[in-house]
């Protein structure tokens, strides 16, 4: 028996059987299975991709959110700062104004007081002058009751005038 | 470790009982190891299962022969067993046609009729084919009934088949042929892989419906290798044929003497030839090794119970080892055949 010699009958049957198996499996077997598995793999890959995109979007959103929060916080701080500054400024301004006003009032008051005072002094002086004149009149009237005295006085006055 | 002990004891017991029966059976006759070995490795017209108390238990298979003298004949293999003659046909006892159906022509010469009998190997091929079709179509049915996109992978046999199909499809075929062309060849290569793998596995099973040496028969591997040869050369592209007929070598190597062309042509033929011989030799050798080991039991039967017993035990150990090795070989050879076929096809589809 020669093992290396292919038997014609077996060749014949093997060709037929293998051809039938091949055609049946190639038509109804393997492509269906591989096709479905490939479809499934594609879907899995697509799902993974979609999940990745969603994850990215979420990460992006979180980032955005953080950014907005920090921005808001910054602007809030800025606003607060500005408000505080404004407030301080307003207070300072008000204080300045008040001080000025007070100064002005006081200055006015002082001026008026001065004026009043001066007026009063003037009045007092006038009054004093009047009184002095009146007193002087009375004194002079009493002293000039004699002619000698009147003459002495006129002389004295004339001297004074001529001396000038 | 407990299991190992149990297996050890079972093997010892088997060894002693086999020794007893072997000693009984072979008192008066010489064991013809070569005949037994080649009988199992080769083809036969009936499917011999066992001998039971001196009788052959054989599944009869139909013999289909066409004689130039008397036309078509169909009869069961039992008709020509044990030297019987039926309608002029009988089994040649020796010579070129040993154990084949022959007839005598007018001048008394032995002639071989055209013989397409359903032999043991053909029957085994049919069983393999049916089993394979059932397995794959059964798995494919799951995908028709279920929405694989929504439901995920199948369970059970369909899941196993899916795993193996996708392994071969992705790791072998797609990797070797390339993304562009592999779809066209995938059904053929998948068929080849599973056909060889299933045949190899069935060949390891020692009783009906396995045990036939199908992929260890050169006719079977020849058909498979020829299919790959055609797949490579019929669909080879321009670049491939240019490489064969007008390769990029100095002119004197291809004209006027076609040295390179001769070498390329030789390579063209040697590729499928190596595929054919590799598978055939590996599987045949595996069968021969296991049968040879089993034969040791019967050969040493004459040497007394002690030697026979110990040899039987060693044989069983080696037999278990060989069977495990054959399981590995069954897969590896299917894998290698498919991989090399894919590589050859891939080379024939290569673009610059």
Q: Does B166 touch chain A (CB under 8 A)?
A: yes
B122-144 mean pLDDT: 91
For residue B38, the distance in angstroms to the closest alpha carbon of chain A comes to: 8
Q: What is the ipTM of this complex?
A: 0.87
Using a CB-CB cut-off of 8 Å, the residues of chain A touching B224 are 18
Assess whether pLDDT exceeds 70 at residue B31. no
* Nearest beta carbon to residue A21 from set B41, B133, B218: B133
Q: Tell me what the pLDDT averaged over chain B comes to.
A: 85
Using a CB-CB cut-off of 8 Å, the residues of chain A touching B288 are none
Q: Which two tokens stand for residue B5?
A: 């002990």
Assess whether pLDDT exceeds 50 at residue B160. yes
The residue among A5, A6, A10, A28 with the most chain B CBs within 10 A of its CB, best to mutate, is A10
Q: Which sequence spans correspond to the domains of chain B?
A: 62-117, 120-348
pLDDT tens per residue across span B225-241: 999 999 999 988 888 88
Q: What is the DSSP string of B242-295?
A: HHHHS-SS-GGGTSSS-HHHHHHHHHHHHHHHHHHHHHHHHHHHHHHHHHHHHH
For residue B301, the distance in angstroms to the closest alpha carbon of chain A comes to: 27
pLDDT tens per residue across span B180-226: 888 889 999 999 999 999 999 999 888 878 888 889 889 999 999 99
Alpha carbons within 13 A on the beta-carbon side of B38: 9
Q: Does B126 touch chain A (CB under 8 A)?
A: yes
The region of weakest confidence among A12-26, B35-49, B269-283 is: B35-49
B137-143 mean pLDDT: 89
Q: Does B98 touch chain A (CB under 8 A)?
A: yes
Tell me the C-alpha distance between A41 and A101, whole Å: 87
Q: A30 and B99 in contact by Cβ < 8 A?
A: no
**% pLDDT > 90, chain B:** 31
Q: A15 and B223 in contact by Cβ < 8 A?
A: yes
Q: A3 and B42 in contact by Cβ < 8 A?
A: yes
The residue among B116, B184, B291 with the most chain A CBs within 10 A of its CB, best to mutate, is B116
Using a CB-CB cut-off of 8 Å, the residues of chain A touching B219 are 6-8, 10-11, 14
B52-73 mean pLDDT: 84
pLDDT tens per residue across span A59-88: 999 999 999 999 999 999 999 999 999 999
pLDDT at B27: 47
**% pLDDT > 90, chain A:** 43
Strands B55-59 and B110-111 come out as unpaired
Nearest to B71 by CA among B83, B89, B84, B85: B89
pLDDT at B17: 63
Tell me the C-alpha distance between A77 and A84, whole Å: 10
Q: A26 and B188 in contact by Cβ < 8 A?
A: yes
Q: B191 and A31 in contact by Cβ < 8 A?
A: no
B144-157 mean pLDDT: 81
Answer whether 0.90 is exceeded by the pTM: no
């Amino acid at each position: 028996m020669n093992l290396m010699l292919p038997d014609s009958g077996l060749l014949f049957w093997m060709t037929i059987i293998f051809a039938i198996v091949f055609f049946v499996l190639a038509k109804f077997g393997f492509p269906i299975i591989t096709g479905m598995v490939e479809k499934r793999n594609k879907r899995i890959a697509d799902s993974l991709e979609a999940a990745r995109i969603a994850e990215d979007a979420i990460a992006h959103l979180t980032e955005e959110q953080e950014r907005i929060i920090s921005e808001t916080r910054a602007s809030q701080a800025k606003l607060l700062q500005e408000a505080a500054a404004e407030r301080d400024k307003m207070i300072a301004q008000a204080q300045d104004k008040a001080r000025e006003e007070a100064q002005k009032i006081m200055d006015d008051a002082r001026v008026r007081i001065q004026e009043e005072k001066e007026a009063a002094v003037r009045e007092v002086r006038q009054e004093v002058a009047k009184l002095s004149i009146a007193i002087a009149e009375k004194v002079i009237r009493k002293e000039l009751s004699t002619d000698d005295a009147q003459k002495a006085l006129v002389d004295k006055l004339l001297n004074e005038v001529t001396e000038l | 470790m407990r299991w190992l002990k149990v297996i050890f004891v079972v093997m010892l017991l088997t060894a002693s009982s086999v020794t007893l029966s072997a000693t009984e059976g072979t008192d008066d006759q010489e064991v013809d190891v070569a005949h037994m070995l080649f009988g199992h490795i080769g083809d036969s017209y009936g499917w011999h299962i066992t001998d039971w108390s001196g009788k052959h238990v054989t599944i009869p298979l139909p013999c289909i022969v066409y004689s130039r003298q008397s036309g078509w004949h169909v009869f069961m293999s039992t008709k020509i067993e044990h030297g019987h003659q039926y309608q002029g046909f009988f089994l040649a006892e020796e010579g070129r046609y040993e154990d084949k159906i022959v007839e005598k022509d007018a001048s008394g010469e032995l002639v071989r009729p055209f013989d397409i009998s359903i032999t043991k190997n053909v029957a085994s091929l049919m069983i393999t084919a049916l089993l394979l079709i059932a397995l794959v179509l059964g798995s494919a049915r799951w995908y028709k009934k279920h929405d694989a996109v929504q439901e995920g992978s199948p369970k059970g046999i369909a899941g196993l088949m899916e795993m193996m199909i996708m392994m071969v499809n992705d790791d072998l075929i797609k990797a070797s042929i390339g993304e562009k062309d592999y779809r066209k060849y995938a059904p053929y290569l998948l068929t080849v892989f599973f056909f060889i793998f299933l045949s190899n596995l069935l060949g390891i099973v020692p009783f009906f419906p396995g045990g036939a040496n199908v992929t260890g028969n050169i006719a079977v591997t020849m058909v498979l290798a020829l299919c790959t040869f055609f797949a490579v050369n019929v669909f080879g592209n321009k670049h491939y044929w240019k490489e064969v007929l007008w390769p990029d070598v100095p002119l004197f190597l291809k004209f006027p003497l076609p040295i390179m062309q001769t070498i390329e042509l030789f390579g063209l033929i040697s590729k499928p030839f190596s595929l054919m011989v590799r598978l055939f030799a590996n599987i045949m050798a595996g069968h021969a090794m296991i049968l040879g080991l089993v034969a040791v039991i019967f050969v040493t039967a004459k040497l007394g119970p002690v030697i026979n017993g110990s040899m039987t035990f060693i044989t069983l150990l080696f037999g278990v080892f060989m069977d495990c090795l054959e399981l590995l070989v069954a897969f590896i050879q299917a894998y290698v055949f498919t991989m090399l076929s894919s590589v050859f096809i891939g080379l024939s589809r290569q673009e610059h």
